[in-house]
Structure 1
Amino acid sequence: MHKTTLKKSASPNKQLQKCPTGIKGFDEITEGGLPKNRTTLVSGGAGSGKTLLGLDFLINGAIKFKEPGVFMSFEETEEELYTDVASLNLDLQGLVAQKKILIEHVLLEKKDIQETDFNLEGLFVRLENAIDSIGAKRVVLDSIESIFAGITDVGILRLEIKRLFRWLKEKQVT
């Protein structure tokens, strides 16, 4: 009988670190949460719960895991977000007052996102200031579609998304 042996790799497999969301059932499905210090894209149609998922991720992070978070909204205002979360009996306003969560509403004009002179530098500066001001470990951008809506060139779109994701990874936020 021939015996087969498996060779061990030179470098041990590193387990992907996870950032728990604190969302019941979600952490079990994802085997511990979202990939830590990585970007996760949540996709779905209007009303599918993307905004509430992001807010729940930040609220649980602040309360259960002592990780401050930034919510940068390109659509809903801070007041609209408070109303959305109130239905879940979560105290978003209190967490904002305690500087555990920072909400930035960014009003984008179509003229601001035309591909002829489109540049993410202004977004990076604003996001970096928000992250640094509270020591954020978690970031939600809602919705990324709004940032890139004016770009019709798929090549430019992909490059800018990759650049944004790389920048967020360098900031070591989830």
Structure 2
Amino acid sequence: MRAPRADATRNRDQLLAAATRVFVAADAEPSMRAVAREAGVGIATLYRHFPTRESLVDAVYRDQVVRLTTAARDLLTQQPPAAAMRRWMDLFGDWIATKNGMLDTLLAMIESGEIAHAQTRAELLAAITTILDAGREAGDLRSDVTAEDIAAFLIGVFTVAPRPVHEAKAGRLLDVLMDGLRPAGRST
């Protein structure tokens, strides 16, 4: 199998970025035409890359999961573990917000088994664990908190303060959460 042409790869990446923006901004599932318009391409180009809404949702979902899982390692090379955790929480919030505009399709795909929810959960928990382990080793993060705890906290925060509408409130709640994740006697 030969590699896709550079312009085809660029178009696909442009479509994924545009779809992500449209999904974040949408209250309900947007049309495929809205995604093509946002990307600045014709509808035929969109359908050439993503022949169905499900294929587009799947690609955006997987792209976001990959970004989250690789971000854990990348952030740790750039920042101390506690700062990396806080930044990763923001990225998680972005991922949750992206799902808003594709929720019905995403839920149907999870229900049908097209998307393995358990695998995604395991990948995200592993990303959180990577940062937690580095934070414990550095003395930045408490040793008695699990990745499952953090995931539950994040789901709670973004349920009561969904992004982008409640960005400031979500930020304050995440800062409070980070204060609670630091060992006693450690501050920002």
With the length of structure 2 as denominator, give the TM-score of the two structures. Answer: 0.27
Q: Indicate the structure with greater helix content.
A: 2
Q: Larger relative CO (CA 8 A, sep 6+): 1 or 2?
A: 1
With the length of structure 1 as denominator, give the TM-score of the two structures. Answer: 0.29
Q: Indicate the structure with greater strand content.
A: 1
